[in-house]
Amino acid sequence: MYALELDGSEPLSATAVKAVGALCDRTEDGESRPVIALHVTGAPADDWADGLDVMLVTKWERALRRLERLPAATVAVARGDCGGTALEAFLAADIRVASPDTRLLLPRDATATWPGMAGYRLVRLAGVARIRRSVLFGRTIEAAEALALGIVDELTDDPAAAVEVVGRLIGGLSGKEVAIRRQLMFDAATTGFEDALGAHLAACDRALRRTTVTGARAETS
């Protein structure tokens, strides 16, 4: 199992971008069925955006999008206050686990909340009506509320055990196939039936071909 720790109290940096990129490299070049574990905590101070530029933010968002599309299952574990890079990585995971003391915080300054993709992912997960006060005004999301909204999948006092459960859940599934199912799921929210049908049929054909090959190998062994 590959793992990465992110501290949201630290400002976004090239180091954080490289750490996520290196994790993606290891996953794409390594075994076919890894589980990626992200351990996140910490929220940035009020002056967290000082010194940032849009080029670095763009690289970070691209690194998270790459993480979100990995041929592997990703599980994120949050504890305590969670904002900034920690929150953004947490929201990009397939399965999100949190300790009961977790609080999700959207960074803000004197004028507004940060307009990064965390807000986008929160809306996709919870819906506009239920998340607007946090996205617009930076309202804190407590752990129990995050669970009720579907932002968090499970609350637990033993995050390590939860990660092990996810590993067993994945079992012998193919990381590449998990990635395909994930993309089909993402597309379902914005794609009409007729447009989505072709991609689903292609995935079905891929699965049937794999089953046929597996069966043929079993007969000859």
Whether 31 shows a pLDDT value over 60: the answer reads no
Q: What is the pTM (predicted TM-score) of this model? A: 0.86
- What values do phi and psi take at 78, rounded to 5? -115, 150
What is the crossing angle of helices 54-68 and 14-29, to 10°? 20
Same domain, 149 and 93: yes
What pLDDT is stored for residue 33 in this prediction? 57
Domain hosting residue 95, numbered range: 2-170
Domain count, the chain: 2
Q: What percent of the chain stands above pLDDT 90?
A: 56
129, with CB counted inside 10 A (0-12, 13-18, 19+), is exposed
Q: Are residues 65 and 95 in the same domain?
A: yes
Q: Is 190 in the same domain as 113?
A: no
Distance CA 80, CA 99 (A): 7
CATH code of the domain containing 8: 3.90.226.10
Domain boundary among the residues 170, 185, 205 is at 170
Domain boundary among 170, 193, 208: 170
Are 162 and 181 members of one domain?
Answer: no
Are residues 124 and 202 part of one domain? no
pLDDT tens digits, 48-89: 878 889 999 999 999 999 999 999 889 999 999 999 999 999
Give me the pLDDT at residue 110, please: 73
**Whether residue 188 sits in one domain with residue 156:** no
How far CA 157 is from CA of 126, 174, 193, in Å, comes to 24, 30, 41
What is the sign, positive or negative, of the torsion defined by CA atoms of 10, 13, 16, 19?
Answer: negative
105-152 pLDDT, tens per residue? 998 877 888 899 999 999 999 999 999 999 999 999 999 999 999 999
So what's the pLDDT on residue 108? Answer: 82
Residues 33 and 129 in one domain: yes
Which distant-in-sequence residues (6+ apart) come within 8 Å of 23 by Cβ? Answer: 2, 4, 36, 67
Mutual angle of helices 84-91 and 54-68, in 10-degree steps: 30
28 lies in the same domain as 103: yes
Encode pLDDT of 181-213 as tens digits.
888 888 888 889 998 898 888 889 888 887 665
Same domain, 103 and 186: no
Are residues 32 and 135 both part of a single domain?
Answer: yes
Same domain for 162 and 190: no
Among 4, 80, 93, which Cα is nearest to 43's? 80
| pLDDT exceeds cutoff 60 at 216 | no
Domain co-membership, 214 together with 119: no
How many Cβ atoms are within 10 Å of 40's Cβ, its own excluded? 28
pLDDT tens-digit profile of 159-176? 778 777 777 777 677 778
Q: 138, 155, 170 — which closes off a domain? A: 170
